[in-house]
Amino acid sequence: MAIKQRLGKKKAAAGRVSSSDEAASSAMPPSDEKALTGRTPDGTAFAVPKTSDMLQSLFNPFTPKTTFDLFTLLILSTHLLVFVAFPLAAKRRILVAAFAFWRLCYNGGLGWILNWQSSRHGLVALFKRNGWLDASRGGNMYVWLKAELEAKMGADYSFEKVPLEFNVWLLYRQLVDLILLNDFMAYFFLCACYIGSANDSETWQTVLRVVGGLILLAFNLWVKVDAHRVVKDYAWYWGDFFFLVEQSLTFDGVFEMAPHPMYSIGYAGYYGGSLITGSYTIFYASLAAHMLQFLFLSFVENPHIEKTYERAPLAIQVLQKSRSRKVSLDSEGSPVATALTVDAQRSIRERPASLWHPELIFFKNLDLFRASDILTVLLLAYSVGVPLLFLYLTGYTSTLLVYSSLQCLWWILFRTLVLGVLLRKQSADQFITRWFIKHGGNSEEAFSSWRAVYNSATIMIYGSFALVAVAGYHWGDADYSDLVLFHTLGLLLIAFHVWSSRSVYDTLGDFGWFYGDFFARSPAVVSLAPADIKLYYTGIYRYLNNPEKVIGQAAFYGLALISRSWTVFALALFFQCGTFLFGAYVETPHMEKVYGTQIHRDSGIVRTVKKAVNKGIGQPVFTDDKPVPAASGSDDAGSGSIAELLTMRPVKEILQDTRGLLSTTTARLAERALPSELSKLDHLDSYSIKLQPGAAGKASKASRNEYYLGEPIRIAWTAPRSHSRRDWVGIYPVTANFSSQITTASSRGRYVYIHPDENLLAEKVPGDSVFTGHVRSTIRPAKRNAPTVEVLQGEAVFSSAALPFRVGAYEMRLHHGGTHAVIAQSKPFEITVCESSEITSVFELQVPPATNGDIPPLAENIDELSLALMTIVNKTLAVTDSRPEPKDGDVVVRTEIVEPLVSVLDPFAVDRVLDERQAKRLGYAIKEYFGVEFSPDVLIHAAKHEATVQDVARRIVEARRALSEYSSLNFKV
């Protein structure tokens, strides 16, 4: 929808694009180009040396070759050998296997390395830990790697002067060149094996196929070259996973045509090869490789882009806010918690229900206990399910096709014509809002009702199209290869439609998706409205001004291909024409009236094509984009049989017993190796871990160890001075491990190194729980009448993500040297909760007096509950701030638990974002402490709309009051 582009969310992603996938065109900037300044994660600045051209260094016979180059050329030559020496059938099988291997090395191997480097600085830490690039520790490895890198670099490069991160990146480039060049070579020779395998009946078909393939190959080459022109070598080889550079990039050209062009349209050559060969084998191999590339983008590139350029991880945000807060407190003093004023309580009470109960968006947020949702489901079942039952019972396909086509036509007209007229009148004189005000409603109700009607119409269009496709599905005696091809293309169009719709929604949010600016432009009128409504051409709107008009019917054309039905195709075309008219007569006039000169006439794709034509012809054929002037004024019984079988209790018990047997067997086998492993340790009885009392232990009169849910757990440890610096402590449920000598259960990230060295600390990222305090050395006898032992003593702290977040009994285990061999255990301890009224006292918080004013009395002191809730949110989202410091030839860590909130007026989520894991933890804590259960989706939605601690506290009070009405009654039948 063109109207939706004006509500795009502004993202600070400048300076970042997708890295390359094929190191095939590494043209370097001119020699007189100003050197870039790089900056490592620890803040070290350096001049970035120019890197060499990969194709030049590999294939120019006059360029000296390194060991890496010779090895790459040797592996490349094996593909040529296979192509020349083996018979056709054999080389096809070998090259398919080779292409699959190199593609998995790329997407799986390189993807894993990059993800490791992004999350833990893993690759750099590996080199630092082993000292391969350290002159004092590297030995022959250091000499060899230094010679290899210096041979490939220019005069501006000094191995000793650049930071470790840059040298590791240079080595990583060698691995990238090896994998990607072999991936390309395997695919090239594989295509060569299938040339001439197509069965074209006419010569013109062959000509069209080959010409189309060559055009796609030429387009692919242009995409690669233009992308490299923009991003240079740095982003081409994923440089920002290792260090950042201070530069300003203009993302024009191919980056205005498609999102992540290197991973989307940058693979057009795959389909060009498929057309030239005319082979289904090549097509499906290309499709599988392309899908793997999108997985690489989703799980490696996008998370790194988000945390580097868009939204920093929670730990970094909390630490930054804490440090800026300390600066302000130095001059202003400590903050004082204040009671809620009457105005504040009234504002909380007036929050709309949509803040907590998000409305249905397609089937997202479906709640079958909400009237509008169940009515939509019943309407869909009646309109689609009943006809399908009729088809199943009678087999009257032609009758169903006529009925479903007429129904689909009606919903298209309703969606485009009826709703279009209403929305046009709403834009002209607020017709819908006036109607609701006239009959006792308000703008909030008007917008809510509009959302429900619009969403129901959208659901019915999808359901109606699906029904027509089922009724019109016919293939008869069609060729099997054509059937598979058409189904594949149809499913791809449906997947593309899903992606584009999600991209539109992610850019616009709830308000923009439902044309919110037809109803309001301020949160004071409609609560979902953003504070600043402007046109931001971000996300998918960077490339298309109106995605729905252009690609919004892709799924329906996909259904037409799958069903091979001209009826479905005609309805899809009719719907697209209706969408064009909807945009021309409803959206565009409203945009011109409201936004005026902010509107872009040309989309990113159109601008790129115009620039390419102007450049190719040598004169301006197309003029620059000019702004638009402002306007004046029921289920299948057999479908779930397997799922039902797997969820039967006997099967679950069998799986649990099998898992337990495997765990027990693993433990017993591991125990046999323990004597030889632990026999190498000196003074085994000098290892110990001891729990330090927490708030729960101090409040409880019992002798057992207790900690409140979310409370940091501190331990004291002892170990001989000769202990391994990789010794670590993990937390486990007391019933998780069969053996007391070997740990077989996963710690799930709940572990701490008790005394790591600098190499281990290299993998530390903000928020990690590590050992804390000073390491002290003492002399004590290990046993009576035994020689003295020099023992180290220290502390460690478990907080935030390293804590178990479930009520229950746990234990800690100290493991030797990075293994799972247990050398000490703590006493069992319990994670528990206290009454909500006790939270402020057990955590020693000062509660201001209640000031409810003229508001009716609540079931409890809202001020005290807000402060208690803030404490629980802080415990849930707390971050460990640790700063390693050298001392006496060792490294000690100063640790502080940083909590994100300082006032009940603060939003309860950092930067309006809760991820699913944080929402589940917070929801569980609220349930355990306050007895009210919120689903994670509710908390995520409320966080997105800046709900404060007060808002959540008010919701808890109201929920507890509602639930307590009948709790004391004893109903009898």
* 811-827 confidence digits (pLDDT tens): 999 998 888 888 899 99
List the beta strands (DSSP E) in 239-349. 244-246
What is the distance between the alpha carbons of residues 246 and 253, in angstroms, rounded to a whole number?
Answer: 22
Question: Which helix (H) or strand (E) segment is 48 a member of?
Answer: strand 45-48
Residue 913's SS3 state is coil
Based on its alpha-carbon atoms, the radius of gyration of the chain, rounded to whole angstroms, reads 33
Tell me whether residue 850 is in a domain.
Answer: no
pLDDT at residue 858 in the model = 41
- Region of poorest pLDDT, from 245-254, 400-409, 642-651: 642-651
pLDDT of residue 572: 93
Residue-level pLDDT at 330? 52
271-291 mean pLDDT? 92
Residues 803, 907 within the same domain: no
**Whether 295 and 360 share a structural domain:** no
Q: Is the pLDDT of residue 802 over 80?
A: yes
**Which pair of tokens denotes residue 142?**
């250091």
Per-residue pLDDT tens over the stretch 649-708: 444 454 455 455 444 545 454 445 554 556 567 678 888 899 988 877 676 665 678 888
Asked whether the predicted pLDDT for residue 87 surpasses 80, the reply is yes
In-domain check, residue 3: no
User: What's the pLDDT score for residue 845?
Assistant: 55
- Residue 896: which pLDDT band, with cuts at 50, 70 and 90? confident
What burial letters (b/e) apply to 595-621, b meaning 16+ CB within 10 Å?
Answer: beebbbebbbbbbbebbeeeeeeeeee
Residue 834 to residue 708: CA distance in whole angstroms: 7
- 221-270 tens-digit pLDDT: 988 888 888 878 888 899 999 999 887 666 777 787 778 888 888 899 99
Q: pLDDT band for position 507 (50/70/90)? A: confident
Tell whether 376 is covered by a domain.
yes
- Residues 175, 224: one domain? no
Q: Judge whether residue 299 has pLDDT over 80.
A: yes
Strands 808-815 and 822-825: antiparallel
State whether 215 and 159 are in the same domain: no
Asked if residue 154 and residue 66 are part of one domain, the reply reads: yes
Let me know if residue 24 belongs to a domain: no
Out of 193, 228, 258, a domain closes at 193
List the beta strands (DSSP E) in 610-750: 688-691, 705-708, 713-720, 728-733
Share of the chain residues as helix, strand and coil, in percent rounded to the nearest 5? 55, 10, 35
346 belongs to a structural domain: no
Report, as an integer, the average pLDDT of 878-894.
72
Are 795 and 717 within 8 A, CB to CB? Answer: yes
Q: 830 or 476: whose pLDDT is higher? A: 830
Q: Are 145 and 132 in contact (CB under 8 A)?
A: yes
Least confident residue range of 275-279, 338-342, 348-352, 755-759:
338-342
Tell me how far CA of residue 585 lies from CA of 230, 417, 421, 594, in angstroms: 39, 10, 9, 15
**Cα(540)–Cα(8) distance, rounded to whole angstroms?**
9
The stretches of 564-623 forming alpha helices (DSSP H) are 566-582, 588-594, 604-617
Query: Does residue 747 surpass a pLDDT of 80?
Result: yes
- Regarding predicted confidence, which is higher, 682 or 878? 878
Q: How far, in Å, CA of 300 to CA of 307, rounded?
A: 11
731-737 average pLDDT score: 89
Query: Residue 224: what pLDDT?
Result: 87
- The answer to which of 195-204, 378-387, 452-461 has the lowest mean pLDDT is 195-204
End-to-end CA distance of the chain: 57
Nearest CA among 709, 703, 752 for reference residue 727: 752
Average pLDDT of the residues in 343-370: 67
Question: Are residues 70 and 64 in contact, defined by beta-carbon separation less than 8 angstroms?
Answer: no
Q: What does the pLDDT read at residue 422?
A: 92
Same domain flag for 723 and 816: yes
DSSP 326-364: HHHHHHH------PPPHHHHHHHHT--GGGTSPPPBTTB
718: three-class secondary structure by DSSP:
strand
Pick the more confident residue, 878 or 530.
Answer: 878
Q: How confident is the model at residue 129 (pLDDT cuts 50, 70, 90)?
A: confident
What is the DSSP secondary-structure string of 81-146?
HHHHHS-HHHHHHHHHHHHHHHHHIIIIIIHHHHHHHHHH-HHHHHHHHHTTT-TTT-HHHHHHHH
| Cβ atoms of residues 324 and 898 within 8 Å | no
- With respect to residue 319, please indicate whether it lies within any of the assigned structural domains: no
Query: Is residue 312 predicted with pLDDT exceeding 80?
Result: no
- Give dist(CA 610, CA 463) in Å, integer: 40
Q: Give Cα 335 to chain centroid, integer Å.
A: 35
Helix (H) or strand (E) holding 675: helix 649-678
Q: Which residues of 336-348 are buried (b: 16+ CB within 10 A; e: fewer)?
A: ebebbeeebbeeb
Better-predicted residue by pLDDT, 338 or 371: 371
Residues 710 and 691 in one domain: yes
For residue 888, being part of any structural domain is answered with no
- Residues 397 and 471: beta-carbon distance below 8 Å: yes
Q: Which tops the pLDDT comparison, 547 or 315?
A: 547
Instruction: Using the 3D structure, point to which of 588, 611, 634 is the last residue of a domain.
Output: 611
Continuous segment of H or E residues that includes residue 77: helix 67-85
* Cβ-based neighbours of 315, under 8 Å, separated by 6 or more: 765, 766, 767, 800, 879, 880
- Identify the burial level of 844 via C-beta atoms within 10 angstroms of its C-beta, where 0-12 means exposed, 13-18 middle and 19 or more buried: exposed
CA distance 157 to 244: 18
What pLDDT shows up at residue 855?
A: 36
Same domain, 184 and 282: no
Higher per-residue pLDDT: 794 or 847:
794
The residue ranking higher by pLDDT, 379 or 884, is: 379
Q: Stretch 938-960: mean pLDDT, rounded? A: 85
Average pLDDT over residues 208-216: 92
Count H helices, E strands: the chain? Answer: 34, 15
Q: Which of 898, 899, 921, 912 is nearest to 948 (CA)?
A: 912
Record the pTM: 0.76
Per the domain annotation, does 687 fall within a domain? yes
CA gap 685, 681 in Å, rounded: 10
Mean pLDDT of 63-68: 87
Same domain for 384 and 488, yes or no, is: yes
For residue 583, is pLDDT > 80?
yes
CB contact at 8 A, 478 and 564: yes
Number of domains in the chain: 5
Q: Confidence class of residue 480 from pLDDT cuts 50, 70 and 90?
A: confident
Domain's final residue, options 170, 193, 216:
193
Together in a domain, 761 and 740: yes
Q: Kindly report the average pLDDT of the chain as a whole number.
A: 78
Mean pLDDT, range 573-583, rounded to an integer: 92
CA distance 313 to 768: 12
In this structure, are 373 and 284 located in the same domain?
no
Same domain, 505 and 547: yes
The parent domain of residue 283 ranges over 198-308
Residue 767 has pLDDT above 70, yes or no: no
User: What does the pLDDT read at residue 103?
Assistant: 95
Q: Which residue(s) pair with 246 in the sheet?
A: 37
Q: Say if CB 745 and CB 879 are below 8 A apart.
A: no
The pLDDT value recorded for residue 30 is 40
Predicted confidence at residue 33, as pLDDT, reads 52
Kindly give the pairing relationship between strand 36-39 and strand 771-781: unpaired
Lowest mean pLDDT among 410-414, 425-429, 499-503, 631-635: 631-635
Name every residue whose Cβ is closer than 8 Å to that of residue 397 and which is 6 or more positions away in sequence: 391, 471
Which comes out higher in pLDDT, residue 216 or 443?
216
In the structure, what pLDDT confidence band is assigned to residue 853 with cuts at 50, 70 and 90? very low
The residue ranking higher by pLDDT, 895 or 737, is 737
Q: What is the pLDDT of residue 905?
A: 87
Q: What is the largest CA-CA distance in the chain?
A: 99
Please report where in the chains the tokens 């247990």 appear, as a residue: 822
**The pLDDT of residue 856:** 39
For residue 515, give the nearest of 498, 533, 503, 532 by alpha carbon.
533
The stretch 500-514 carries a mean pLDDT of 84
The per-residue pLDDT for range 93-121, each reduced to its tens digit, is: 999 999 999 999 999 999 999 999 998 88
